Amino acid sequence: MNQSQNEIREPDFARGSDGLLPAIAQDAQTHQVLMLAWMNREAFQETFRTGQATYYSRSRGKLWRKGEESGHRQKVLEIRIDCDADTILLLVEQQGAACHEGYASCFFRTCTADGLVVNQTRLVDPESLYPRSQST
Amino acid sequence: MNQSQNEIREPDFARGSDGLLPAIAQDAQTHQVLMLAWMNREAFQETFRTGQATYYSRSRGKLWRKGEESGHRQKVLEIRIDCDADTILLLVEQQGAACHEGYASCFFRTCTADGLVVNQTRLVDPESLYPRSQST
């Protein structure tokens, strides 16, 4: 009867490099795969608790509350984990563009024999997303 | 005029830990996210060349031609890369179940406040997938 208490209730962060696991964000309505980022346990727990996607920024070395600068937040409707409990899938309601390049999805380029081909229309000018940051 | 020759034509494997990048497989028809695995340059090039998903198995330390044991292959219809060129998205035509547990997708469990909840119906008995392997 206590079996559910012994189940893994969260991802197995010990399986990740430096305690980080990949987290995929998918648009719950369009089903478009938006991006992949990384989560540590703290990011996962904050996401679970707040319902807003929070990742761990490897480059900045700290929690990254998606959209805190751009306003392009992700409301998390569902969190799934895979069979090995080492990958996270978020079903989200995306505000604005998920990609800092201004595209709906970060996966806006297709690999072809002739090189990379853009497969989406840009939604917003990336310069308008981060007005305080320098483009150099 | 030679700009396209200077573009990244493949993912930036130098950005991956041990030269490995995460690769997401998404069903091209249902848009279900099926699984996440890893690719090195060799796996990527074989996938691009053959049109069949080939990953790198971290546990086995060698190329993993998806479905070579189970028959549940993935025909790759399109390969996309993200803005940082460090994540790969495959749009695939999945034969059978993507997950070795017999589910269509590896993300068959949802994290809830009451624990993990299975969100899919099993397609096939996992015992039937790998009849020669032991279940212990």
pLDDT score at A4: 44
Closest CA to B87 of A36, A126, A103, A84: A36
Closest CA to A10 of A36, A43, A52, A35: A43
CA pair distance B45, B26, nearest whole angstrom: 19
Residue A47 parent element (H or E): helix A41-50
pLDDT score at A112: 94
Strands (E), chain A: 21-27, 33-39, 54-57, 62-65, 74-81, 88-94, 109-112, 115-118
How many angstroms separate the Cα of A127 from the Cα of each of A70, A101, A120, B55?
Answer: 11, 9, 18, 37
Q: Is B18 on the interface with A (CB under 8 A)?
A: no
- Chain B contact set for A32 (CB, 8 A): 31
| pLDDT tens per residue across span A7-50 | 457 899 999 999 999 999 999 999 999 999 999 999 999 999 99
Predicted model pTM: 0.91
pLDDT score at A126: 86
Q: Are A65 and A54 in contact (CB under 8 A)?
A: yes
Mean pLDDT of A105-128: 93
Closest CA to A107 of B113, B124, B31, B18: B31
Side-chain half-sphere of B23: how many Cα atoms within 13 Å? 32
Tokens encoding A36: 């992949």
Q: Is B55 on the interface with A (CB under 8 A)?
A: no
Averaged over successive runs of 10 residues, the pLDDT of chain B (136 residues) comes to: 51 94 98 98 96 96 94 97 97 96 97 94 86 50
- Chain A contact set for B109 (CB, 8 A): 80-81
**DSSP character at residue B14:** G
Coil vs helix vs strand at A93: strand
Dihedral over Cα of A46, A52, A53, A59: its sign: negative
Phi and psi at B37, nearest 5°, equal -135, -170
Mean pLDDT of A97-126: 94
Q: Is B80 on the interface with A (CB under 8 A)?
A: yes
Coil vs helix vs strand at B77: strand
List the single residue in A with minimal CA-CA distance to B4. Answer: A115
ipTM entry: 0.90
Residue B110 parent element (H or E): strand B109-112
